[in-house]
A and B are shown apart, each in its own frame.
Chain A
Amino acid sequence: MKYIYDGSFEGYLTAIYEAYYRRETPERILPDTNLQESLFEENIRIETNSSKASRVANSINEKISPTSLENVYYTFLSELDESDVWIFQYIKLGFKVGKNIDSYLSDDRVLKIMKINRKVTREIHRMLGLIRFRQLEGNIFYAPIEPDFNIITLIAPHFQKRFADQNWVIHDIKRNLAVLFDCINMVLAPLTPDFAIELSKKETDYQHLWIQYFKSIAIKNRINPKLQKQFMPHRYWKYLIEK
């Protein structure tokens, strides 16, 4: 039996609620996007319900730990195939053993979650550095990204603090999602990349200066493309100005 939900974190937590309430163990908890329903499978639709979801979130918070809730959220955002199963198993174990769950590093259910978490955290950290804003006409700073994981909501607060006096947009092209900030409010909204952007007049000057800087800072007798790629994997180069 599979549970089908709307793809949101709330929806997923609602599914967990239902599984406990109905005493069922769904073999998968899948988002309804891109779902190929097969005639022979018995799928159960879960209606997202925020009060059920927040009850699950609260009990993870209290009966396990706030870090565990964060772990669950990060793993959810990894969107990795089968992460739905791993989270479910992790939560079940958590309700059994309580707040020390993350010390059970020799248990595969915990280890798996920790590993994914490390990956997601690493991408967040990388993204904070590798995002590049372009100044558009009308004084908006625009940054396109295509991260492996769905981390836009996790990186936005950093830029809200950093560029508090600046209008900016971070746009996840892969997921058609954007965070927009106008010096006061920050919102998450769907956004398809079907608009033309017009760079401000001085934008290309600064881009050239940056490229110049990037070139002249390298020490010629120490060139090491392998090391460079190890830190800055090729898949992130698309939106870098300097590459």
Chain B
Amino acid sequence: MDLQKKLEILSGAAKYDASCSSSGSSRKNVNGGLGNNQSSGICHSWSDDGRCISLLKILLTNICTYNCVYCVNRATNDIPRASFTPEEIVDLTINFYRRNYIEGLFLSSAIIRNPDYTMELMLKTVRKLRIEHKFNGYIHLKAIPGTDSALIAEAGQYVDRMSVNIELPSNDSLKLLAPQKKKESIIKPMGFINSKILESNEVGRFYKKPKKLFVPGGQSTQLIVGATPDHDFNILKLTQGLYRRFQLKRVYYSAYVPVLSHPNLPAVARPPLQREHRLYQADWLLRFYGFKAEELLDDNHVNFSSDIDPKSDWAIRNIHLFPIEINTADYELLIRVPGIGVLSARRIINARKMCSLGYEHLKKIGVVLKRARHFITCRGKYYGEIGMNELLIRNFLTDKPVNLQEQNSDWQQLSIFSHIADSNILENNSLLLS
């Protein structure tokens, strides 16, 4: 089979993995070798679906002995199969890199023969790149669940980021859809990678510089959204736990794309992109805005609404905390205002040292006043024209605003009613499954 065909098959199979980011690690060019890494991450192109292309993202092989129900590569699925040799991957990576097509390589794989055999081939590839070819570009490696720790330990010295995909947000879903994978086989390498990272940082503290970098870009994982009945609150709590327990750098969410049908899989017409989007927004709030999962959702409110973003939703439910005065509020509170981001909050703090800020200043600073004005005062004056009314503000901030004229008591009841109805359905669902 020629290289072109292999690339078609093995990049096609890798594309559903969302973790394309290459940021978070800067590797200096050593002894006149090839490449250096920019810690801010560079997109080299945007594919026809509008996603950033930064890495050559491929599978080593799509020949798999496992049979996970949701996966195109499962053993019993009748599709064309292919495998790269380590040499072919090295050649592609280097030649794409030299032409400035990519920042580096993202190598994943199906499980050929057994986990260790697969991991050994992947290890051989990254070793060749780093040692033989002095390649300093970015490398992200998928650790195969169930692999010997010694292999992971060696690979960790060569790569910038390592990830183990959780894919399914709960143990039940795992049993149902990926019966050969155990929760332990995923959690174990994650814990191992984390302890090695900590260890290498520890060494770094004593010797000023770590003797050997271990996965300097940290680890990440991916969750499939919408293939199982797990609700957003479950997923977000899992995310929060991963950030805390394993110090993951990123959790990626991938809207489930219906690639095949199976009685255990839901029938979805379209990937739940809106849900994926809301989860990314919430994830952002966890990482940069100091929110906790329990603040954004709770047991009575287990999914994000499709027509309002999580931050606005939180602010409206906590309307008693607002409005806050822009000239005196702490940074922590400023960033919780819808329409004020990390950057504009910093600019506010900076600019108000010079003079007290009025409404006009905020516009110049880059605050989205359409949202923010409902939650702030400037020099004591409130600019939201509808007052601190929860429902009215909610109506203002929803993506598809309901006609204001219909805003009467009937409408209120209706919306509360449908909200309760929704969460009932979801609860019944999860009861059925547990």
List residues of A whose CB falls within 8 A of some B CB.
100, 103-106, 111, 125, 128-135, 141, 143, 158-159, 161-166, 183, 202, 206, 208-210, 212-219, 221-228, 230-232, 240-242
B46, A231: Cβ atoms closer than 8 Å: yes
Chain A residues in 8 Å Cβ range of B101: 132, 210, 241
Cβ A222 vs Cβ B49 within 8 A: yes
Q: Which partner residue on chain A sits nearest B42 by CB separation?
A: A129
Instruction: From the candidates B45, B98, B351, name the one contacting A103 in the complex (CB within 8 A).
Output: B351
Please tell me if the beta carbons of B52 and A231 are within 8 angstroms of each other in the complex.
yes
Is B56 in the interface zone, CB < 8 Å from A?
yes
Contact B15 A132 (CB under 8 A): no
A-B contact pairs, 29 of them (CB 8 A): A103-B351, A105-B351, A105-B361, A105-B364, A106-B351, A106-B360, A106-B361, A128-B38, A135-B98, A158-B38, A161-B29, A162-B36, A163-B34, A165-B32, A166-B34, A206-B96, A212-B7, A213-B56, A215-B8, A218-B49, A219-B16, A219-B257, A224-B50, A226-B50, A228-B48, A231-B46, A231-B50, A241-B101, A242-B45
- Which of chain A's residues have a CB closer than 8 A to the CB of B47? 214, 217-218, 228
Q: Are A209 and B354 in contact (CB under 8 A)?
A: no
Is B409 interfacial (CB-CB < 8 Å)?
no
B187 at the interface (CB under 8 A from A): no
Contact between chains at A219 and B3 (CB < 8 Å):
no
Q: Which of A105, A129, A206, A228 contacts B99 (CB 8 A)?
A: A206
Pick from A162, A217, A241: contact of B15, CB below 8 A.
A217
Once A161-B29, A209-B4 are accepted as A-B contacts, the answer to whether A225 and B48 lie under 8 Å apart by CB is yes
In the assembled complex, the Cα of A119 lies from the Cα of B46 at a distance in Å of 20
Q: Looking across the interface, which residue of chain A has its beta carbon closest to that of B96?
A: A210
Contact status B49-A224, CB under 8 Å: yes
Is residue B250 within 8 Å, beta carbon to beta carbon, of the partner chain? no
Q: Which residue of A lies closest to B13 (CB)?
A: A216
Do the beta carbons of B361 and A162 come within 8 Å of each other? no
Q: List B contacts of A128 (CB < 8 A).
A: 38, 42
Question: How long is the Cα–Cα vector from A226 to B50 in the complex, in angstroms?
Answer: 8
Q: How far is the CA of A206 from the CA of B361 in the complex (A)?
A: 52
**Besides A221-B270, A230-B50, 15 other CB < 8 A contacts?**
A129-B43, A129-B54, A129-B100, A130-B45, A143-B100, A162-B29, A162-B34, A162-B36, A163-B98, A165-B32, A212-B11, A219-B16, A219-B49, A222-B50, A240-B45
Q: Which residues of B contact A223 (CB under 8 A)?
A: 48-49
CA distance A223 to B48 in the complex (A): 6
Asked whether any CB of chain A lies closer than 8 Å to the CB of B95, the reply is yes
The residue of chain B having its C-beta at the shortest distance from the C-beta of A158 within the complex is: B38
- Taking residues whose C-beta sits less than 8 angstroms from the other chain, chain B's interface range is 35 or more
Q: Which residues of A contact B40 (CB under 8 A)?
A: 125
How far is B45's CA from A105's CA once the two chains are assembled, in angstroms?
Answer: 33
Chain B residues in contact with chain A, CB under 8 A? 3-4, 7-8, 11-12, 15-16, 29, 32-36, 38, 40, 42-54, 56-57, 92, 95-96, 98-101, 257, 270-271, 273, 347, 350-351, 353-355, 357, 360-361, 364-365
Are A208 and B4 touching (Cβ within 8 A)? yes
Q: Which of chain A's residues have a CB closer than 8 A to the CB of B35?
A: 162-163
Q: Give Cα A165 to B36, complex, Å.
A: 12
**Are B99 and A135 in contact, with the CB atoms below 8 A?**
yes
Separation in Å of the B187 CB from the closest CB of chain A? 29
Minimum CB–CB distance from A76 to chain B (whole Å) comes to 23
Per DSSP, are chain A's interface residues mostly helix, strand or loop, or mixed?
Answer: helix
Q: In angstroms, how far is the closest chain A Cβ from the Cβ of B54? A: 8
Chain A residue contacts of B48, Cβ below 8 A: 218, 223-225, 228
CA distance A131 to B102 in the complex (A): 11
By a CB distance below 8 angstroms, the chain B residues around A228 are 46-50
Q: A132-B101, A209-B92, A216-B8 are in contact. Are A161 and B351 (CB under 8 A)?
A: no
CA of A103 to CA of B349, assembled, Å: 10
Which residues of chain A are near B365, meaning CB under 8 Å? Answer: 105
- Chain B residues with CB under 8 Å of A210's CB are 96, 99, 101
Chain B residues, Cβ within 8 Å of A103:
350-351, 353-354
Smallest Cβ-Cβ distance to A107: which chain B residue: B364
A134 touches B271 (CB 8 A): no
A150 vs B57: C-alpha distance when bound (angstroms): 33
| Complex contact A111–B364 (CB within 8 A) | yes
Compute how far the CA of A162 lies from the CA of B33 in the bound complex, rounded to whole angstroms.
9
Query: Residues of B contacting A225 with CB < 8 Å?
Result: 48, 50
Instruction: Select which of A100, A163, A206, A224 is within 8 A of B95 by beta carbon.
Output: A206
Contacts A162-B35, A206-B96 given: A222-B29 contact, CB under 8 Å? no
Q: What is the minimal beta-carbon distance from A203 to any residue of chain B, in angstroms?
A: 9
Residue of A nearest to B28 (CB): A161
**Bound CA span A222–B364, Å:** 35
Q: Which residues of A contact B98 (CB under 8 A)?
A: 133, 135, 141, 163, 166
A125 — which chain B residues lie within 8 A by C-beta?
A: 40, 42
| Contact between A217 and B33, CB atoms less than 8 A apart | no
Nearest residue in B to A183 (C-beta to C-beta)? B32
Q: Do A134 and B43 have beta carbons less than 8 Å apart? A: no
A232–B45 touching, CB < 8 Å = yes
| In the bound complex, CA of A30 to CA of B350 (Å) | 35
Question: Smallest CB–CB gap between A213 and chain B, Å?
Answer: 5
